[in-house]
Amino acid sequence: MDYKKLKENPRKIQSILKTDGENIITTETLYLIFPERFITKDIAMIGRTVETPCIYLLHDANGNYIKQLIPTRVSFIPNAVEDIEIEGKKYKKLTFIKGAVFNNGKMVIDKDIPFILQDDWINKSGNIPFFINMDDIQKVFINGVVYGGSVVGSNPVPIATFISIIARDSKNRYVRQYYTKEQIKHMKIKFVGLSKVSAVYNNVFSAITGAYLKQGIAASLNMDNPGQTKIDAVLN
């Protein structure tokens, strides 16, 4: 499956899921993908059932997909679980054959999930799942407020500001990526964590006067095209 060629088609995927009593049943084979990183961050687990945040991509055999962006817990009992790699990152792929129980349609509130995602996605790693764009990140935190009562995202302005900082041009990490609603689906973006000094700053002075001195010194020595102000020249 070439995941770059998937087509967003929520209506098609929704038509495959049917309610049967308290359960949701698949009428065709479906595949659910979520980051393996959720497991290492202790917000997902695989045992007799699979528990994960309701942040995943669900697709059929024809490449139609829908994505969920709600930071609450959901449980599944898939027919198969496998490890896959997409764009150099590891994911879990759950298979639900035709007639399988997808889930019971219930979500469990976990107010820690938005905090963990905010720390991992924005502060530290910038490891945003491949199916999530800039606009989707904002939606995740807003949904955390709506569905889980989280305080992360209760004021969307700071989150939007942070997202604009960590979203960079995929060909030049120093260039911040700005967008319109029309452009966003066609843009190739690289996300960087706020604590990644080598990517956040493009001048020597800013790099070495931040909170991460050792990283800042290393970053300033390895900058591809450091900003050459008079202060930078002296520090170099």
Give domain limits for the chain.
3-103, 112-221
Q: How far apart are CA 194 and CA 162, in angstroms?
A: 8
Q: Length of the chain in residues, anyone?
A: 236
Residue 101 has pLDDT above 80, yes or no: yes
Which residues fall within 8 angstroms of residue 235, CB to CB, at 6 or more apart?
204, 205, 208, 220
Token pair for residue 83?
């490890």
Token pair for residue 77?
């009992």
Mean pLDDT of 199-221: 58
Q: pLDDT-based confidence at 127, cuts 50/70/90? A: confident
Q: pLDDT-based confidence at 192, cuts 50/70/90? A: confident
Give residue 175's pLDDT: 57
Nearest residue to 55 via CA among 64, 45, 66:
66
Residue 95 has pLDDT above 80, yes or no: yes
Give residue 205's pLDDT: 53
Residue 2 has pLDDT above 70, yes or no: yes
Nearest residue to 123 via CA among 227, 33, 9, 211:
211
Q: What is the average pLDDT score of the chain? A: 83
Q: What percent of the chain has pLDDT over 90?
A: 50
Give residue 162's pLDDT: 84
More confident call, 150 vs 80:
80
3-state secondary structure 164-223: HHHEEECCEEEEECCCCCCCHHHCCEEECCCCCHHHHCCEHHHHHCCCCHHHHHHHHHCC
Give residue 193's pLDDT: 75
Nearest residue to 139 via CA among 211, 54, 47, 214:
54
Mean pLDDT of 8-26: 94
Q: Which residue has the tokens 């045992």?
A: 47
Residue 202 has pLDDT above 90, yes or no: no
Backbone angles phi, psi at 66, to 5 degrees: -135, 150
Give residue 160's pLDDT: 84
3-class DSSP state of 128: coil
Range scoring the smallest mean pLDDT among 52-56, 114-118, 183-187, 215-219: 215-219
Give residue 224's pLDDT: 58
Q: Between β-strands 64-76 and 7-8, what pairing exists: parallel, antiparallel or unpaired?
A: parallel
Give residue 215's pLDDT: 59
Q: Which residue has the tokens 């905090």?
A: 115
Q: Helices in the chain by DSSP H: which ranges?
A: 10-16, 37-40, 112-117, 134-148, 156-166, 197-200, 204-208, 213-221, 230-235
